[in-house]
Amino acid sequence: MSWWPTVRLVASREIRTRAASKATRIVTLIMVVAIVALTVILDLTRGGDSAQKVGLTSATAQLAEPLQQAARATGEDVDVRTGLSPAAGAQDVRDGHLDALLGRGGPGKPFTIVVKDDLDDNLRATLNLLARQEALNRQITRLGGSPAQVNADMARATPRVTELEPEEPYHSERLVIGMIVGILIYVALLSYGQAVAQGVVEEKSSRVVEILLSTIRAWQLMAGKVLGIGVIGLAQLAIVIGAGAAAAALTGVLSLPTSIAAGTVVWAIAWYLLGYFLYALLFAAAGALVSRQEDVGSVTMPLMMLIIVPYVIGISALPADPENGLVRTLSLIPLFSPMLMPMREAMGVATAAELIFSVALTVALIAVLVRITGRIYSNAVMRMGARIRVGDAFRGA
């Protein structure tokens, strides 16, 4: 057979074996439950109707519009309910249906406020502003002026704000998505990179590799194994992302435009694939250096650190400073790009030029690693016994 049918045959074997594994199904289920639970938690922590409910008696009904103006001035969301009797309004406050009830205090006096136990600080600021405005209106009327005209002039006397570094739209949502994307790719690269190394050692220690290499070439076996496990990882990632997207759509937790959300998903999958093939080649070569499962950890630890370090840097620096210069520089380095660049893209701080440049470098490095790791794998996979040094495996010594 030519090389592609052979690689596809090996990959199909890996896909069937991994898909039938109970561990794969359990891990996928756990990840789906986790992403759905996180979406629900985010929806619950947003809170429902956060507006402060304020009731007005018939004596204070004229305060409805001034109260809304005061609320806008203080940035408070107020739901005004009018036409209440003092007794009915007080009962609504007692039952928790109202946060406050405004009653008339008497001619020339401020209105009164009835609350159940304590007045919210933000609502207090709004009502204090309303009381001062009412006092000012009374003085203007006594002097023969027009409170409406004065208030209109005051509303127009608002300074213009110039934002030197305006916050990007949907900043908070994109920040959360960036963290989730980073976590998913981090888990996928670690899990499936280790799976490649362990699979190589398993075949080597059981002597299955000797039977396989009697009919196919070593690099074809490595390529098929990497491809097959990668397909399983891609399917798992797609299921998890799909579950998260469905949960977000049902709960309405995200308000991101569809184009931005779809772009983030596409880039996340693209960077998973690039990162997986980059690291899977290294993990396959590392697994070929040893003959026992107990030794896998020692040869894969340096590779795991190359995944862990950028992940830790990313989740530590990006939430506080998405434009962090160190993270930006590291995200352009191929071994760090699969972890950092999708996080930066999801947060909306990665430029198109940076994305294209980092993809090109990563693809170039993968092309180089295909030859290097293929040679190490071919020279080491048939050698049993003590751990083989990288240099010896590369030279075939």
Strand partners, 80: 54
Residues 205 and 337 in one domain: yes
Residue 159 lies in a domain: no
Residue pLDDT tens, the chain, 397 long: 677 888 898 899 889 988 888 888 998 999 999 999 988 888 777 655 567 899 998 888 888 888 888 888 888 888 899 888 889 999 999 998 899 999 887 666 778 899 988 888 888 998 988 888 888 888 888 888 887 787 777 666 667 777 666 656 667 788 888 888 999 999 999 999 999 999 889 888 877 887 888 888 888 888 999 999 999 999 999 999 999 888 888 887 777 788 888 898 899 999 999 999 999 999 999 999 998 888 899 999 999 999 999 999 999 999 888 889 999 999 999 999 999 999 999 988 999 999 999 999 999 999 999 999 989 998 888 888 788 988 888 887 6
Residues 209 and 351 in one domain: yes
Secondary structure percentages of the chain, helix, strand, coil, to 5? 70, 5, 25
Report the distance separating Cα 203 and Cα 210, nearest Å: 9
CA angle 295, 300, 301 (to 5 degrees): 100
Beta strands in the chain (DSSP E): 52-57, 78-84, 100-103, 112-114
Report the distance separating Cα 174 and Cα 254, nearest Å: 9
Residues 184 and 276 in one domain: yes
Give the total residue count for the chain.
397
Range of the domain at 328: 3-44+171-395
Residue 165 lies in a domain: no
pTM equals: 0.72
Per-residue burial over 178-201, b = 16 or more CB atoms within 10 Å of its CB, e = otherwise? bbbbbbbbbbbbbebbbbbbbbbb
Residues 76 and 9 in one domain: no
In sequence order, which residues have a C-beta less than 8 Å from that of residue 247 and are 6 or more positions away?
35, 36, 39, 40, 253
Residues 350 and 310 in one domain: yes
Residue 342 lies in a domain: yes
pLDDT of residue 228: 93
User: Are the CB atoms for 101 and 84 separated by under 8 Å?
Assistant: yes
User: Are the CB atoms for 234 and 192 separated by under 8 Å?
Assistant: no
User: Are the CB atoms for 195 and 187 separated by under 8 Å?
Assistant: no
